[in-house]
Amino acid sequence: MSCEACAEAEEIDGAVPDCRTEKGCLIPPLDEQGQRILEIRDRLITLHDIVDAGTILRLYDATKEDVEMMAIVEKELKMLREDNSEGKDGNAGKRVDE
């Protein structure tokens, strides 16, 4: 479940996402640690050509738990990318507007 999946369902099926109804969004908001992990990850990706990862992790005082959580996030993202490239969503290689 993701915002992109809801937007795609709305575009394809005309289904109104829960976030626009009384039900509210089914995706739980990030907690403080989740926000921190995504912020560190963003900096690692954005600055990888000019600053080494260790420096960025030190600047954010990243803990072992932070690094382990980032590894979990990366694993999940890799699996999603692989699923999409293998066509498990039924639209691999197709543009959404096709």
Q: How far apart are the first and last CA of the chain?
A: 22
Angle at 77 between CA 84 and CA 17, to 5 degrees: 70
Is 40 a residue whose pLDDT tops 90? yes
| High-pLDDT (> 90) share of the chain, % | 38
Range of the domain at 41: 31-88
| Rounded Cα gap, residues 85 and 89, in angstroms | 9
Answer yes or no: do 35 and 78 share one domain. yes
- Shared domain for 83 and 49, answered yes or no, is yes
- For residue 1, pLDDT over 70 is answered with no
Q: Supply the pLDDT for residue 27.
A: 74
pLDDT at 23 over 90: no
Instruction: Tell me the per-residue pLDDT of 74-95, one tens digit each, with 9 for 90 and over.
Output: 998 888 788 777 765 555 444 4
Do residues 25 and 35 both lie within one domain? no
For the question of whether the overall pTM of this predicted structure is more than 0.75, the answer is no
